[in-house]
Amino acid sequence: MTGGARPADRPLDLAAALAESGVDELLATLDAELVGLAPVKRRIREIAALLLVEKLRLQVGLSAGPPSLHMSFTGNPGTGKTTIALRMAEILHRLGYVRKGHLVAVTRDDLVGQFIGHTAPRTKEVVKRAMGGVLFIDEAYFLYRPENERDYGQEAIEILLQVMENDRDDLVVILAGYKDRMDRFFASNPGMSSRIAHHVDFPDYGQDELYAIAGLMLEKMQYRLSDDARTALGEYIERRRARPSFANARSIRNALDRARLRHADRLFGAAGEPLSREALMTIEASDIRASRVFSEAAATAEESTP
Amino acid sequence: MRLTQGTFSFLPDLSDDQISNQIEYCLENGWAVSIEYTDDPHPRNTYWEMFGNPMFDLRDAAGVMKEVSAARTTFPNHYIKVNAFDATRGVESLRLSFIVNRPDPEPGFGLVRQEVDGRAIRYTLRAYATDQPEGERYQ
């Protein structure tokens, strides 16, 4: 913008600011590439709106200071916490909140030292590396070990608290972990909980969402499903969801990896015949139905009806 | 007498914003930035004390600036310099080094004449500050 300050009474063009920032485009890709996660997307949209409005307010001389954007992501395994965190750095960079937009992903090992006096420099070094970007602490509850009162994790937490308070404009801290354990972590570290403005809960995926995720994964891996396989996959997801060790999208990815194995094995078994591009791409129903999920379900069904 | 060692030393002292921009330039080039301090300003004193470890893998100058201000708080009356080391194979040396903190009265150097064999004279420099033991200079 050239020229001096904008006259205070001139209306500001929100639409133009929106177009200029490229936020719309960003949210559209997010919608296209990530299935479900409605509350998460809503929160991202809110943050985007806030940052945009803050920019406009600044133009007319209103300032509330940069908002605190530290976040905690909680949810069951495989609900996309890490994936979103990776995206978050890019999103915040595009919105002009963080200067560099890189992500430093760490776990307890990178923060906590092995002997007295080792933790503080280690944590500070990680924090320095994350400046201008996002510090992502995966499975943050491991930092706090109540069963060992001399654990050095507490020291790392204290340094993080200080950084989250004092260097808010230099970096964004995202903590991630499973819901119940994170809740316990926050209960025992109330200072941490209150310094985090955004507690985002990742919901489990529904049947249709999982199916859509499988579709996206296959597309990315350049496979396709035959019509029978489509129904088989639907049934597979239904049965897999009922099992205790179900880990949402991660289970789906593993299932698809195993289907690829069987697909390759089937092609090998049929050696001699010329292979078409089609055959190399297509996963058949038999590749999916060979899964343990189906055979075990059949076995229990037989047991219950002798 | 103003100490003129390192880059920018003939210019007025850099402001924090200018220092930050210089560090930003170093990080953009992938150089590792480190901070050193000393209270012995002799020009041949090449090895200053390290203030913390060199900082690798930084992306933003804010991290270094925090260290600079920490160094200034710890050693308000020492010389403090910022070094940028280029680890590229074949270079492997400092690319940039500049002073970011200096003691207020800088007494400077005295010329020492030493009479040697055959009444020849040898000349050398001596920092007035080094009359005092280490840690008590520039009070």
Question: In this predicted model, what pLDDT tens digit does every residue of A196-224 receive, in sequence order?
Answer: 988 999 988 888 889 899 999 999 889 98
CB contact under 8 A, A127 and B59: no
CB contact under 8 A, A131 and B53: no
Confidence check on the interface: ipTM exceeds 0.85, yes or no: no
Is B99's Cβ below 8 Å from some Cβ in A?
A: no
Helices (H) and strands (E) in chain A, counts: 15, 7
Confidence of residue A97 (pLDDT cuts 50, 70, 90): confident
The pLDDT of residue B88 is above 80: yes
The pLDDT of residue A162 is above 70: yes
Which tokens is B53 given?
A: 């470890």
A4-8, A143-147, B110-114 — which one is most confidently predicted on average?
Answer: B110-114
Strand B109-115 relative to strand B121-127, pairing? antiparallel
Q: What share of chain A is helix, strand, coil (3-state, %, to 5)?
A: 60, 10, 30
Of A54-63, A188-197, B38-47, the poorest mean pLDDT is in A54-63
pLDDT for A301:
56
pLDDT for A56:
83
Q: Distance (Å, rounded) from C-alpha A153 to C-alpha A144?
A: 6
Q: Distance (Å, rounded) from C-alpha A184 to C-alpha A22?
A: 39
Determine the 3-state secondary structure of A156 from DSSP.
Answer: helix
CB contact under 8 A, A131 and B59: yes
Integer Rg of chain A from CA: 24
Confidence of residue A9 (pLDDT cuts 50, 70, 90): low
Question: In this predicted model, what pLDDT tens digit does every residue of A238-253 receive, in sequence order?
Answer: 888 888 888 888 899 9
DSSP structural state of residue A210: H
Q: Cite the DSSP H helix spans in A80-152.
A: 81-94, 108-111, 119-130
The predicted model gives A123-128 an average pLDDT of: 93
Residue B133 distance to chain A (closest CA, Å):
30
Name the one residue in this structure whose structure tokens are 């035959």: A226
In chain B, the N- to C-terminal Cα span, in Å, equals 16
pLDDT for A191:
87
pLDDT for B90:
94
Q: Distance (Å, rounded) from C-alpha A195 to C-alpha A177?
A: 17
- Closest Cα in chain B to A98: B60
CB contact under 8 A, A131 and B62: yes
Whether the CB-CB separation of A208 and A171 falls below 8 Å is answered with: no
Confidence of residue A306 (pLDDT cuts 50, 70, 90): very low
In chain A, the N- to C-terminal Cα span, in Å, equals 80
Q: What share of chain B is helix, strand, coil (3-state, %, to 5)?
A: 25, 30, 45
Q: Cite the DSSP H helix spans in A167-276.
A: 179-188, 190-195, 207-221, 227-242, 248-269
pLDDT for B104:
86
Is A239's Cβ below 8 Å from some Cβ in B?
A: no
Question: In this predicted model, what pLDDT tens digit does every residue of B19-65 receive, in sequence order?
Answer: 999 999 999 999 999 999 999 999 899 889 999 999 998 999 999 99
Residue A102 distance to chain B (closest CA, Å):
8
Q: Distance (Å, rounded) from C-alpha A293 to C-alpha A236?
A: 7
Is A131's Cβ below 8 Å from some Cβ in B?
A: yes
Cα–Cα distances in angstroms (integers) from residue B120 to residues B112, B124, B125, in the given order: 13, 13, 17
Name the one residue in this structure whose structure tokens are 């009474």: A9
Q: Distance (Å, rounded) from C-alpha A121 to C-alpha A126?
A: 9
Q: Distance (Å, rounded) from C-alpha A181 to C-alpha A194?
A: 17
CB contact under 8 A, B63 and A128: yes
Q: Which residues does chain A have within 8 Å of residue B57's beta carbon, measured at their own beta carbons?
A: 129
pLDDT for A147:
83
Is B60's Cβ below 8 Å from some Cβ in A?
A: yes
The predicted model gives B113-133 an average pLDDT of: 92
Is A117's Cβ below 8 Å from some Cβ in B?
A: no
Q: Distance (Å, rounded) from C-alpha A36 to C-alpha A288?
A: 24
Q: Which residues does chain A have within 8 Å of residue B24's beta carbon, measured at their own beta carbons?
A: none
Q: Distance (Å, rounded) from C-alpha A282 to C-alpha A140?
A: 41
The pLDDT of residue A267 is above 90: no
Q: Distance (Å, rounded) from C-alpha A81 to C-alpha A76?
A: 9
Is A127's Cβ below 8 Å from some Cβ in B?
A: yes
The predicted model gives A54-71 an average pLDDT of: 83
| Strand arrangement of the beta sheet that strand A172-177 belongs to | A103-106, A134-138, A172-177, A71-75, A198-202
Of A22-26, A38-42, B69-73, the poorest mean pLDDT is in A22-26
Q: Distance (Å, rounded) from C-alpha A187 to C-alpha A185?
A: 5
pLDDT for A4:
47
Within 13 A of A141's CA, how many CA atoms are on the CB side?
16
- Closest Cα in chain A to B62: A131
Is B92's Cβ below 8 Å from some Cβ in A?
A: no
Q: Which residues does chain A have within 8 Å of residue B66's beta carbon, measured at their own beta carbons?
A: 128, 131, 167
CB contact under 8 A, B62 and A133: no
The pLDDT of residue A1 is above 50: no
Whether the CB-CB separation of A264 and A283 falls below 8 Å is answered with: no
